[in-house]
C-alpha cells in the first residue's frame, strides 16, 4: 500500500495541515515535507490546499436492492454511488427479495459489500420475518453472524403491532441493538395514499395521508423505549410534531435517536404540482413549516443524523402516473451537497457540525467502531475531501447508480466531493470510482 500525504487540507473546515497516511492509518498531522518518497517509502502527494477534510461519511439508511432487484441497484453500484458521495460506510436496508431476515441473508449482503470494496457495507436486519409484522426475525442469529448486525428495521413498512415492537426492543437490548422504525400508522396512511395531506393534495386531487400517521407511532415508540430501557431510532423524521416528541423524549432521558433526509430538508410539497413521480417519496415531502422544524432540530441536535434513504428504482417502476409510481429517490451522491446548501452556506452548521451529523453520530448509532472516527493520529484513514468554494450541476446520466430517479437533476449544488479514501485507499475521485481513474490522477 502506497503512503498518502494530503497537503494543506482544512481539517473540519478549520486550520490547514498536512495529513500523512501509512498502512491505512493516520500516521502524522502537521507540517510534513512532500517528496516522491518519505523515509524510503513511496508517497502519493495530494494538493489539498483550500479543500475541507472530513471523516468519511456514514449513511444509516440506503436501499441497495440486491438480492432481488439488481435491475435497479446492486451492492456494487450502490457502493460506487456512496463512494462518489463521500461515504465510507453505508447501512443496507432489509427490504430485499428475499428479505434480510436470517443470518445467512445478512452475511450475503455483508460479503457482497466486501467484494465491492468501495465502502463498508453493513446490513440492517429485518425486525419481522418477511417484513410481515407478525413474527420476530432471527435477531439474535443475525447479531451473532459474521455481519454482526446491530440495527434492525422493517423500513418500507412500519412495525405497527405494539406488542411485536416491545418484544423486538426487549430482545435487542441484550446485545446493544437498535430498532429503526419507519413511523407510519397503516390505518391512518392506507395503501392508496401517495403524498402529504394538505392544501396541495386537495387541490391536485391526490390521495394523501396526514402527518399524524407518523406522529402517533413516534409517540408510542418512545414510550416503549422508556418501558424496555432499549434503543429506538426514528428513521426519516419529517414532521414538526414528531420533532417535538423526540425533543421531549430526550429530555426525559429516553434512548431515542433520529435521522432526517436531505430531501426532507430541501424539498417541499410545492414540487408536486407538476405530478412528477420523481418527487413521490415515503414519508412524503412536507410543507415549509415541517421542513423548518426538522432543519432547526438538526441544527440544535434533537435530530442526530442525516441519512439518505437512497431508494433507486428502474424506469418501469417510477415512470407512471403519480399515484401509481414507486416511492423513493436517489440520494447517496448528492447528500453532502444538499446539506451544504441548506445548512452550511446559510451558516446554520459548520463543517465540524456536518462531520458530527453525517459521520460521528451515524457511526455511533450503528455501532461501527472503525467509522466516524476523529481525524487524529492512530485513527483509520476513512476520509473525504470537499471543495467548499466550488459548485457542480447534477447530471443523472453521470450517476454511479444504476437508476436515474434523481430529484436534483439539472440543479447546481455546492461543495462537490473531490476524493474519498477508505482506509487510505482512494475509492472515488471527482465523481469517478476506483477502476475508472488512474490513481496517479489524484497526485
What are the catalytic residues?
309
- How far apart CA 96 and CA 118 sit, in angstroms, is 21
Cis peptide before 67 (omega within 30 of 0): yes
Cis peptide before 274 (omega within 30 of 0): no
Rounded to whole angstroms, how far apart are CA atoms 58 and 22? 22
Using a 10 angstrom Cβ sphere, with 0-12 exposed, 13-18 middle and 19 or more buried, the burial of residue 407 is buried
Q: How many distinct helices (H) and strands (E) make up the chain?
A: 13, 22
| H or E element in which residue 240 lies | helix 240-251
CB-based contact 380:423 (threshold 8 Å): yes
In this structure, is the dihedral angle defined by the CA atoms of residues 341, 346, 350 and 356, taken in order, positive or negative?
negative
∠ CA(257), CA(260), CA(262), 5° rounding?
Answer: 155
Retrieve residue 189's grid coordinates.
396512511
Q: How far apart are CA 76 and CA 115, in angstroms?
A: 8
d(C-alpha 195, C-alpha 309), whole Å: 17
Q: How far is CA 169 from the centre of its chain?
A: 23
Is there a contact between 58 and 382 (Cβ–Cβ < 8 Å)? no
Cell of 318: 417510477
Binding residues for substrate: 63-65, 95, 282, 313, 327-328
Contact 306, 260 (CB under 8 A): yes
Backbone angles phi and psi of 340, in degrees to 5: -60, -40
- Kindly provide the residue ranges of all beta strands, DSSP E only, lying in 151-201, ordered along the sequence: 151-152, 178-181, 195-196
> Burial, 441: exposed, middle or buried (Cβ in 10 Å; 0-12, 13-18, 19+)?
exposed
Grid coordinates 441519512 are at which residue? 307
Torsion sign across C-alpha atoms 165, 169, 172, 176: positive
Find out whether 164 and 134 touch, Cβ atoms under 8 Å: yes
Angle, CA 259 vertex, CA 112 and CA 244 arms, to 5°: 160
Amino acid at each position: 500500500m502506497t503512503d498518502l500525504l494530503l497537503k494543506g487540507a482544512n481539517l473540519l473546515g478549520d486550520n490547514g495541515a498536512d495529513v500523512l497516511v501509512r498502512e491505512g492509518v493516520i500516521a502524522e498531522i502537521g507540517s510534513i515535507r512532500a517528496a516522491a518518497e518519505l523515509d524510503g517509502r513511496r508517497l502519493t502527494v495530494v494538493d489539498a490546499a483550500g479543500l475541507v477534510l472530513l471523516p468519511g461519511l456514514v449513511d444509516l439508511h440506503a436501499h441497495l436492492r440486491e438480492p432481488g432487484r439488481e435491475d435497479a441497484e446492486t451492492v456494487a453500484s450502490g457502493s460506487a454511488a456512496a463512494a462518489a458521495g463521500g461515504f465510507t460506510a453505508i447501512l443496507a436496508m432489509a427490504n430485499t427479495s428475499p428479505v434480510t431476515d436470517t443470518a445467512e441473508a445478512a452475511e450475503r449482503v455483508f460479503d457482497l459489500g466486501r467484494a465491492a470494496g468501495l465502502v463498508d457495507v453493513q446490513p440492517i436486519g429485518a425486525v419481522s420475518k418477511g417484513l410481515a409484522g407478525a413474527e420476530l426475525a432471527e435477531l439474535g442469529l443475525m447479531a451473532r453472524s459474521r455481519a454482526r448486525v446491530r440495527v434492525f428495521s422493517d423500513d418500507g413498512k412500519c412495525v405497527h403491532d405494539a406488542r411485536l415492537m416491545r418484544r423486538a426492543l426487549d430482545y435487542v437490548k441484550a446485545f446493544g441493538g437498535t430498532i429503526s422504525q419507519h413511523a407510519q400508522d397503516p390505518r391512518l396512511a392506507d395503501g392508496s395514499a401517495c403524498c402529504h395531506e394538505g392544501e396541495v393534495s386537495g387541490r391536485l386531487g391526490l390521495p394523501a395521508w396526514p402527518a399524524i400517521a407518523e406522529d402517533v407511532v413516534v409517540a408510542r415508540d418512545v414510550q416503549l423505549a422508556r418501558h424496555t430501557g432499549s434503543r429506538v431510532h426514528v428513521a426519516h423524521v419529517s414532521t414538526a410534531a414528531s420533532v417535538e416528541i423526540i425533543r421531549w423524549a430526550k429530555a426525559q432521558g429516553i434512548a431515542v435517536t433520529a435521522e432526517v433526509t436531505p430531501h426532507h430538508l430541501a424539498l417541499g410539497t410545492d414540487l408536486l404540482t407538476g405530478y412528477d413521480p420523481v418527487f413521490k417519496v415515503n414519508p412524503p415531502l412536507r410543507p415549509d413549516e415541517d421542513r423548518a422544524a426538522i432543519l432547526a432540530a438538526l441544527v440544535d441536535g434533537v435530530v442526530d443524523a442525516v441519512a439518505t434513504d437512497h431508494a433507486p428504482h428502474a424506469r418501469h417502476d417510477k415512470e407512471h402516473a403519480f399515484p401509481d409510481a414507486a416511492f423513493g429517490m436517489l440520494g447517496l451522491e448528492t447528500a453532502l451537497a444538499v446539506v451544504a446548501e441548506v445548512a452550511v452556506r446559510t451558516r446554520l452548521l459548520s463543517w465540524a457540525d456536518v462531520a458530527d451529523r453525517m459521520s460521528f453520530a451515524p457511526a455511533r448509532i450503528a455501532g461501527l467502531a472503525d467509522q466516524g472516527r476523529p481525524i487524529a493520529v492512530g485513527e483509520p484513514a476513512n476520509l473525504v475531501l470537499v471543495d467548499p468554494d466550488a459548485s457542480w450541476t447534477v447530471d443523472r446520466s453521470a450517476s454511479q447508480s444504476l437508476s436515474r430517479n434523481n430529484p436534483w437533476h439539472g440543479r447546481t449544488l455546492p461543495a462537490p466531493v473531490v476524493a474519498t479514501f477508505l482506509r487510505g485507499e482512494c475509492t472515488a475521485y471527482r465523481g469517478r470510482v476506483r477502476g475508472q481513474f488512474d490513481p496517479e490522477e489524484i497526485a
